[in-house]
Amino acid sequence: MSSSPIAIVTGGAGFIGSHMVDLLLARGFRVRVIDNLVGGREANLAHHARHAALAFERRDIRSCEPGDPLFADVRYVFHFAGIGDIVPSIERPTEYMDVNVQGTVRMLECARSAGARRFVYAASSSCYGLAQVPTREDHPIAPLYPYALSKYLGEAAAFHWHQVYRLPVNAIRIFNAYGIRSRTSGAYGAVFGVFLRQKLAGKPFTVVGDGSQRRDFLYASDVAEAFFLAAETPRIGEIYNLGAGSPQSVNRLVELLGGDVIYIPKRPGEPDCTWADIGKIARELGWRQKVSFEDGVGRMLEAIDYWREAPLWDPASIQRATKTWFAYLGENSG
């Protein structure tokens, strides 16, 4: 095992990060996970608990300095760690800039000092704002809220380290990832967690607007595969959009989940459709989707008990939770 390549996954106890750990261990890597467990859960790695090739450190990424032993002999760094959600970022913008921008800079410096062969940054399609679809990588950047800005500034820092210090960087702008192990706590947000908890409670699904809005949902294991290809490719300094390339409506999701529906007001600053143009990643990296939307939803229903402790949202609690959203984005969404 000593000759096995080493990879670091920041946020590796989180949703997508834990799927990245799965893939790397299956490919024969030794994996070092750094996660402060604010958003992640050690339980997401429990199936690897006795794996000799996995090491876990509960730390904040901002605690790392160049020369940190964690980065010794590392080949690849996959940077997923950060904080998400729209409303909290509007309420606590300084924290988002600190974690998502300065935390990324810390990781870049550690990777640079260690001589990492590739740094793959988990960017966000939120940088495009209300985008034209299908959305290409050269679409104008127009972040609408601090989370989107912080993720884009982290991306900009990564490419600055590539430009100035020759750190080999690629970035993937994730559209709508979903799958098992997605977060069960925190602010009102991702539709899957909201709906699965409601289904467990026998409550109606709270559908925003008329449910015709479409999202480019992609299963987390397919996301991890794309990140691995972005590390292995000889291409560097590249940005790739990542989705399934086939948006699904919220109504279709409700149909697959099965249950009653209650409709709540549409929110400002939310697109009617997200749709990644995946031509570049398919062409340059040979990536393709493996898990269909129907199969992915089926996997989540099989694991539905995971969301039993998640917050149970209803129209009144959603209205309270999104008050800031309406207050700040209402005037800026046109």
Mean pLDDT of 247-274: 92
- The predicted model scores a pTM of 0.95
* Predicted pLDDT at 28: 97
Please tell me the least confidently modeled range out of 6-20, 172-186, 194-208, 217-231: 172-186
- Strand pairing partners for 121? 79, 171
pLDDT of residue 2: 58
Q: Does domain 183-215+246-274+291-325 correspond to CATH entry 3.90.25.10?
A: yes
What is the torsion angle, in degrees rounded to the nearest 10, for the CA atoms of residue 81, residue 87, residue 88 and residue 93? 90
Task: Report CA 127 to chain centroid distance, whole Å.
Answer: 13
CA-to-CA dists, residue 294 to 219, 230, 288, angstroms: 10, 26, 16
Per annotation, catalytic residue among 76, 96, 121, 147? 147
Dist. CA 269–CA 182, nearest whole Å: 23
Question: Which residue, among 83, 75, 95, 122, has the nearest Cα to 232 in the 3D structure?
Answer: 75
pLDDT at 25 over 70: yes
Neighbours of 216 (CB within 10 A): 26
Tens digit of pLDDT for each residue in 76-115? Answer: 999 999 999 888 899 999 999 999 999 999 999 999 999 9
Active site residue 128: no
Fold (CATH) for 6-177+217-242: Rossmann fold (3.40.50)
Q: In the beta sheet, which residues pair with residue 32? A: 8, 55
107 CB contacts (<8 Å, ≥6 apart)? Answer: 10, 61, 64, 77, 79, 81, 119
Tell me: the pLDDT tens digits for 207-250? 999 999 999 999 999 999 999 999 999 999 999 999 999 999 99
Q: Are 273 and 213 in contact (CB under 8 A)?
A: yes
Residues 6 or more apart from 307 whose CB is under 8 A from it? 184, 193, 196, 197, 200
Name the residue with higher pLDDT: 244 or 193.
244
The mean pLDDT value of the chain amounts to: 94
Query: Could you state, in order of their start, the residue ranges of all structural domains in the chain?
Result: 6-177+217-242, 183-215+246-274+291-325
pLDDT score of 292: 98
118-153 in b/e burial notation, b at 16+ Cβ within 10 A?
bbbbbbbbbbbbebebbbebebeeebbbbbbbbbbb
Does the pLDDT at position 37 exceed 80? yes
Q: How far apart are CA 281 and CA 277, in angstroms?
A: 9
Which helix (H) or strand (E) segment is 254 a member of?
Answer: helix 250-257
